[in-house]
């Protein structure tokens, strides 16, 4: 897999987790402290339908960037120790 494909997967997974978790917490009552922390980090993320969609966009971009950087770093480190040139 290329770094771009891994980044897409991580972004979609993190956004999906945030949406499902947020909807579950909205129906359950008091939100988890981690989700309250995310309301401070992700601007516009709230426990409303619109806020959850905004949070999903933030989560996708956060997961995409993180997945890309970690994938690229790991592939670079593996390339340094293997001596082979990767086509991805």
In this prediction, residue 86 carries a pLDDT of: 58
Tell me how far apart the alpha carbons of residues 69 and 52 are, in angstroms, rounded to a whole number.
25
In this prediction, residue 87 carries a pLDDT of: 59
Whether residue 73 is contained in a domain is answered as yes
Tell me how far apart the alpha carbons of residues 16 and 20 are, in angstroms, rounded to a whole number.
6
pLDDT per residue over 37-86, tens digit each?
A: 888 889 989 888 899 999 999 999 999 999 999 999 999 888 888 866 55
Whether residue 69 is contained in a domain is answered as yes
Whether residue 87 is contained in a domain is answered as no
3-state secondary structure 35-88: HHHHHHHCCCCCCCHHHHHHHHHHHHHHHHHHHHHHHHHHHHHHHHHHCCCCCC
Domain hosting residue 8, numbered range = 3-82
Give the mean pLDDT of 7-28: 92
Structure tokens at 33: 């402290």
Whether residue 29 is contained in a domain is answered as yes
Whether residue 58 is contained in a domain is answered as yes
In this prediction, residue 35 carries a pLDDT of: 85
In this prediction, residue 38 carries a pLDDT of: 87
In this prediction, residue 69 carries a pLDDT of: 96
Q: How many domains does the chain have?
A: 1
């Amino acid at each position: 897999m290329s770094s771009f494909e891994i980044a897409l997967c991580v972004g979609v997974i993190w956004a999906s987790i945030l949406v499902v978790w947020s909807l579950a917490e909205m129906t359950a009552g008091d939100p988890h402290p981690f989700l309250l922390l995310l309301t401070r980090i992700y601007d516009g993320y709230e426990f409303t339908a619109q806020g959850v969609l905004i949070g999903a966009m933030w989560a996708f971009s956060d997961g995409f960037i993180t997945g890309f950087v970690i994938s690229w770093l790991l592939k670079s480190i593996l390339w340094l120790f293997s001596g082979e040139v990767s086509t991805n």
